[in-house]
Amino acid sequence: MVDSIVVQNVTKDFTMQYHRSLKQMAVATFKGLPLKEQFQAVNDVSFTVEQGESIGLMGLNGSGKSTLLKLINGVMRPDQGSIRTRGRIAGLIATGAGFHPQMTGRENLFLNGAILGMGEAEIKRKFDDIVAFADIGKFLDTPVSHYSSGMYARLGFSIAIHVDADIFLADEVLAVGDRPFKRKCVQKMQEIRQQGTTIFYVSHATASVRSMCDRVLVLESGHLNFDGDVEEGIRYLQYDDDPTDQPTTAAGNTDEELGADI
Amino acid sequence: MSKAADRAARRAAKAHAVDENGRRRNAARRARALAEKKSDAMPVAAPLDGPRGVRVVDAELVDPSPRGGIAEVFQQRYLLRLIVGRQLAAQYAASVLGLLWSYIQPAMRFGVYFFVFGVVLSAHKSTPNFALHLFAGMVFVHYFSETWSGGTRSVRSNRALLLKMRMPREIFPVAAMVTAMYHTGPQILILTVFCVIAGWHLTFTAVAAGVLGLLILLTFAMSMALFFSALNVYYKDFQNIVSTFTQFLHFMVPMMYSYSFIAKLGDNHPWIYQLYMANPLAESVLLMQRFFWYPTLDDPEKYTNEFPPDLFERGFIMLGICLVLLYLAQKFFSRLESRFPERL
């Protein structure tokens, strides 16, 4: 098989700067507060994805999933380690990116298509398909500021899904729209998957991941703690605990109490 | 043992218990809650039947975020064109006069300068064709200040694009530069028409001066736009600093007054003269006047003292300096660029 995404020991630090203005910085220094703090959003992550695999990336909010997606997409660069990808990357990550409210749907379609890496000829060729899928009808030549949020999302999604990508990245959070449209999207993604495109799908929805993915990665506070079978991954993420189990006083706790009494 | 001490000990013990294990239990609880809530957030579509297709990707494994720099921007001309179009549309959205605004403002400024310096201070007596002398300078100073201030804001104002998709980020300052061309292009046309009316005797030297002046202007404007656009991502103060500076620019080049005043000043204060002439914009404006204004004069030989004797030598040195500046600005931009997404 051919490697599609190769991620090696990737680490991404974020610097949080608390105080931006000179006055605030002076006050903070005087009080002895930290001016900035670093934290690692992605910590020493390595994995390889083969062409045609579909990967479900799971984890709690804030575990670094979106950062990892941005690193693969090329929006961010890793601080350490390396990422290499093969072929054109597109997907449900930039839906509606750069839509200008005063420009018409048609103009925005061309701009957004170009941002996703399509050339002029390619967009013209796919133009009818994109418009048909988006189902915006006569609103095509209306400024997008007059669109309903559903129409806006549909147009964005439709462009993204028509990019002939080798790697398709999808973030569930960005797939807005009503349920029938979402269903249409998911079906389209299955088609894309069937064509042998690598899929990288960020989702919390276990059922959706089960039907879409061949392999699951679980991120926990920046560490890649699970990489393997879908069912096992979902079970891992839910930590196999009995849901009624309350975090009651642990054994150590009682010992401490005893110690206090003596 | 007192009850209070007992309670304190218990509290300390509890705090101690919230360790790795506790955190993990908490995470598990949150994961279960999330899984329950989100389990059917997305509809499920059954995988398609039949064998999975094999996609042959005819490409190498590459870094998804190459450091292409300005060179890469010019490989993506189609995208550049669309971004310029977007910028123009954004600028004139909901305005009746639209693009006209970028001509009204310079026209009014020209009127004021011409009145104050030409009529009140009667500069047109010592400088023939003063209007052309003034306008030839103003067009290019306008171009420079628009590229500089527009470029400085460009990365920040396009953050929505920058945060979503990978593209060479130099595209935004470059787009600002192209947008500025849209605004100054017609002004250059007007300038040319008036030069022709006034009797334009072009010589080879004049054309060479024009080309050299334009090259200095373009490289200098680009390097300033690149440098300040990166700085402005880190500290938004820079866009205010730049707009303050652009207000002085009109007075820092010889267009409202002629070069001979600066030469005279240089006799007593050589330092001020050197400082004044170290401004690439002043050099560029002089070269532009050599191209537009000087060939329209009736007896040009009388006015050779309106240019420094070493105009061309200075011009070539300045172009060299500007190319180095552009290289350094690109280096600087590439260094800061990696941290753009988290700073925006």
Residue B277 has φ and ψ, to the nearest 5°, of -80, -10
Q: Which residue's entry shows tokens 């390097």?
A: B223
Two tokens, residue A92: 């449900």
Mutation for A interface: B24, B42, B78, B235, most A CBs within 10 A: B42
Is B303 inside a domain boundary? Answer: yes
**Averaged pLDDT for residues A214-241:** 84
Residue A16 has φ and ψ, to the nearest 5°, of -95, 120
pTM: predicted TM-score of the whole model, two decimal places: 0.84
CATH assignment of A1-87+166-241, given 3.40.50.300, 3.20.20.450, 3.40.50.920, 3.40.1360.10? 3.40.50.300
**Averaged pLDDT for residues B151-178:** 89
Examine the pLDDT at A253 and tell me if it is beyond 50: no
CA distances from A47 to A21, A225, B27 (A): 41, 11, 24
pLDDT number for residue B2: 60
CATH 3.40.50.300 in chain A, residues?
A: 1-87+166-241
**Averaged pLDDT for residues B189-214:** 91
H or E segment and range at residue A137: none
pLDDT number for residue B39: 65
Mutation for B interface: A61, A85, A166, A218, most B CBs within 10 A: A85
Is B144 inside a domain boundary? Answer: yes
Chain B partners of A211 at a C-beta cutoff of 8 Å? 44-47
Is B127 inside a domain boundary? Answer: yes
Examine the pLDDT at A260 and tell me if it is beyond 90: no
Examine the pLDDT at A48 and tell me if it is beyond 60: yes
Residues spanned by the domain of B192: 69-343
Name every residue whose Cβ is closer than 8 Å to that of residue B285 and which is 6 or more positions away in sequence.
Answer: B136, B137, B140, B141, B213, B253, B254, B255
Burial class of residue B167, CB neighbours in 10 A (0-12, 13-18, 19+): buried
State how far residue B64 is from chain A, nearest Cα, in angstroms.
5
**What percent of chain B lies above the pLDDT cut of 70?**
93
Taking the C-alpha atoms of residue B179 and residue B183, their distance in angstroms, rounded to an integer, is: 7
* Contact between A98 and B86 using a beta-carbon 8 Å cutoff: yes
Chain A partners of B164 at a C-beta cutoff of 8 Å? 75, 93-94, 97-98, 115
Give A174's pLDDT tier (boundaries 50, 70, 90).
low
Of the candidate ranges A38-52, A81-95, B301-315, B329-343, the one whose mean pLDDT is the lowest: A81-95
- Surface of B (31-60) touching A: CB under 8 A: 31-32, 34-35, 37-48, 50, 52-55, 57, 59-60
CA distances from B207 to A173, B189, B192, B212 (A): 58, 16, 13, 9
Our count of domains for chain B comes to: 1
H or E segment and range at residue A241: none
pLDDT number for residue A259: 39
Q: What is the pLDDT of residues A190-221, one digit of tens each?
A: 888 888 889 988 888 888 888 888 899 998 88
Distance of CA A17 to the CA centre of its chain: 24
Is B80 inside a domain boundary? Answer: yes
Of the candidate ranges A171-185, B135-149, B268-282, the one whose mean pLDDT is the lowest: A171-185
Chain A partners of B47 at a C-beta cutoff of 8 Å? 190, 193-194, 211-212
- Surface of B (194-213) touching A: CB under 8 A: none
CA-based R_g, chain B, Å: 30
Residue with the bigger pLDDT between A39 and B318: it is B318
* Contact between B63 and A6 using a beta-carbon 8 Å cutoff: no
State how far residue B244 is from chain A, nearest Cα, in angstroms.
19
Taking the C-alpha atoms of residue B58 and residue B207, their distance in angstroms, rounded to an integer, is: 48
- Surface of B (259-288) touching A: CB under 8 A: none
* Contact between B32 and A243 using a beta-carbon 8 Å cutoff: yes
Is B216 inside a domain boundary? Answer: yes
Taking the C-alpha atoms of residue A206 and residue B228, their distance in angstroms, rounded to an integer, is: 46
**Averaged pLDDT for residues B43-60:** 75
Q: What is the pLDDT of residues B235-288, one digit of tens each?
A: 888 989 999 999 889 899 998 888 988 988 888 889 999 999 999 999 999 999
